[in-house]
Chain A
Amino acid sequence: MTGVKTSFSLLDRILAPGGLTVVFQPIFALPGTAPKLHALDCRVRGPVGTNLEEPCVLAEYARHKRAESLVDRACLTTAMQTVSALLPASRLPIHLHVTTLGSDQDFAEFLLSLAEQSDISPTRLVVEVGEPEVPWDHAIFTASLQKLRACGVRLALSNFGNQSANYHLLLDCQPDFISLDRYLVNHSGSDHRRQVILDSLARLAARFEAEVIAEGVETEADLKALCQAGIRFAQGALLSQALVAQTLPAFVMQTDAVASTVI
C-alpha cells in the first residue's frame, strides 16, 4: 500500500504563521439581577481543520510532544497580539502548562517582555495553570511565579478538582482565582453531593482569599446551585458560547455595564 506521507508535523503547523487562532469564553459575575460580563477567558486553538482546534487537544498534544514551552510561547504571542488589537482594556486569562513554568527558566521574562511589546499591563494578565502530569522543577516553578506576581500578574488554577489539579497546586500557587472543573459543576443543580462540594470549595477559596470561577455552566439549575454556594463567577454555554475575535467587539459593546466590569 502506498500513500502520501505527512511532510509536516502538526507541531510545524502550530508554529507556522497563522497556525493558531484565539477564541474568548466570557466570564460573568453572578450576583445581582442578571449576570454581568466580568472578564474574557482566552483560549488558543490549533490549526484549522485538525484535531488540535480543540484547545484541550492542543494542550495534550504539546505535552506529549514534550513541547509545552514552545507551544505556550506561540499561544501567548498569538493571544497577546489578538487582545492588544481588539481589547485594549480587557483582562487576559491565558492557559499555560505547569511544566512550562516549571522548566523554562526564561518564560516569565518572555511573558513580561511580550506584554510590554504588546502594550498590555501585567496587571491585566491572569496566568492559568493546571494538571501537571510530568515531573517539573519546583524551584523553577516557584521562581517563575514570584517573578510574575512581583509584576502584578495574577494566577489561576484551572480545572480544579480534576485529576492532578488539586490541593498540591493550591498550596504551591496560592492562586487569585480557582476555576472549578465542569465535572463538579454539571448537574450540581440536582446532585446534593456536588452542592456539598461546591459549598466546601467556595468556603475554602474564601479562606485562601481567592475567587471561584465555575466552568461549564449549562443549566439554570446549575447556575442557581452556584449562587446558593456563594460562587460569584461563572462561564459556560448557558451564559455565552465562546466567541471568535471578529465578533468580540460587538459582543462587548452590547453587554451591560461593560465599562465598570471588564478590567
Chain B
Amino acid sequence: MQVLNQTITTTPAVTSQILVVDDEAPIRFALKEYLSTQGLAVSCAGEVAEAEAMLPLHDYSVAIVDLHLTGNCGFEGLEVISAIRAGYPRTRIVLLSANISPETGQTARDLGVDVLLHKPMPLSGVAQIVFELIQLHPVSKEQS
C-alpha cells in the first residue's frame, strides 16, 4: 500500500467511528494509525464473527471491509456487509479488495456497498472517501 504524505483537512467537528475489517494485520494497523491521525475513532476486526460482535458497540459512520477474510479467496467480506446492512442501515460501507470482478462488484452493490475500492490504494485516498461518506452519516447526539 502506497502512503502519501498528504493530510486531509476536512476533520469532522465530532469524532466519527470507523470500523476496519481486514484479515491482514499490517493493513488494519496502517488504516487505524492513519485514520486516527485524521481525528477518527477506529476499531478493527480480522474475522467475520469478530466484526459482527463489534457492530453493536458503536454507531459506525463508515465500515471499510476487505472482500477476502480468510486468505483462501472466499467472499467472507460480503457476510459482514450483509450483517451491517441488516442491522445498521445508516453505516456507509467501503469494500476494499485487490480482486473485485464485475460480478462480485455487482453483488456487493446489490448488498448495499457504497464504494468499491481496488487495492493498492493510498491511505490518503481511502481517508478522502471516508470523509466524503461521513458527510452522509452525521454523528448522532449520543456519540457527541
Contacts and interface: CB of A to CB of B under 8 A. Distances in A.
A64 B49 contact: yes
B13 interface: no
Interface stretch (A1-9, A103-111, A225-233, A238-246): A1-9
A51 B52 contact: no
Contacts of A64: 48-49, 52-53
Contact of B24 (A3, A59, A63): A3
B4 interface: no
Interface size class on chain B is 20 to 34
Interface string B30-51: 0000000000000111111110
A1 B52 contact: no
Contacts of A52: 50, 53
Contact of B49 (A4, A54, A61): A61
Interface residues of A, number: 20
Contact of B47 (A9, A57, A63): A9
A4 B24 contact: yes
A3 B26 CA distance: 6
Nearest to A65: B49
A57 B1 contact: no
Majority-rule SS of A interface residues: helix
B118 to A, nearest CB: 10
Nearest to A66: B49
A191 interface: no
Nearest to B48: A64
A57 B55 CA distance: 9
A61 B53 contact: yes
A61 B98 contact: no
Given A1-B120, A57-B54, A51 B23 contact: no
B74 interface: no
Given A6-B47, A64-B48, A65-B49, 15 more contacts: A1-B98, A3-B27, A4-B26, A5-B71, A6-B23, A9-B47, A10-B46, A51-B43, A51-B45, A51-B53, A51-B54, A57-B57, A60-B52, A60-B53, A64-B52
